[in-house]
């Protein structure tokens, strides 16, 4: 594993040893290579039971839903802040006149 120096060698190792290598083993090989890590995770998911896959998909949906709610709250807060700032600016402008 120590002699895997470039991306081509890492991909070759991935295809040759995918079935018998654990995620920890891949982390040592892959390092920061996100693409190969995602390939390993996809291969690992292929072997999940239907219940495991359903649970995983439900968790992903929950995470995405929470992110969407947070994004909505942030956008709404920004819009409210802008509206409040404009109202204050108009009030200050009228007070100066």
How many Cβ atoms sit within 10 Å of the Cβ of residue 40? 21
Mean pLDDT, range 36-47, rounded to an integer = 83
Token pair in block for residue 81: 């802040």
Domain ranges (residues) in the chain:
1-47, 49-97
Beta carbons within 10 angstroms of residue 13's beta carbon: 19
Q: Give residue 8's Cα distance to chain centre.
A: 25
pLDDT at 26: 72
Q: Are 13 and 30 in contact (CB under 8 A)?
A: no
What integer best gives the mean pLDDT of the chain? 86
Question: What distance in Å separates the CA atoms of residue 44 and residue 53, rounded to the nearest whole number?
Answer: 11
- Residue 1 above 60 pLDDT? no
Lowest mean pLDDT of 31-35, 50-54, 66-70, 84-88, name the range.
Answer: 31-35
Distance CA 48, CA 44 (A): 7
């Amino acid at each position: 594993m120590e002699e895997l120096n470039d991306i081509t060698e890492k991909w070759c190792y991935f295809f040759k040893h995918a079935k018998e290598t654990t995620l920890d083993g891949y982390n040592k090989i892959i390092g920061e290579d996100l693409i190969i890590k995602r390939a390993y995770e996809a291969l690992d998911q292929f072997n999940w039971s239907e219940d495991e896959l359903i649970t995983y998909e439900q968790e992903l949906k929950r995470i995405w839903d929470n992110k969407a709610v947070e994004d909505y709250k942030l956008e709404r807060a920004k819009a409210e802040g802008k509206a409040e700032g404009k109202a204050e600016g108009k009030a200050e402008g009228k007070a100066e006149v």
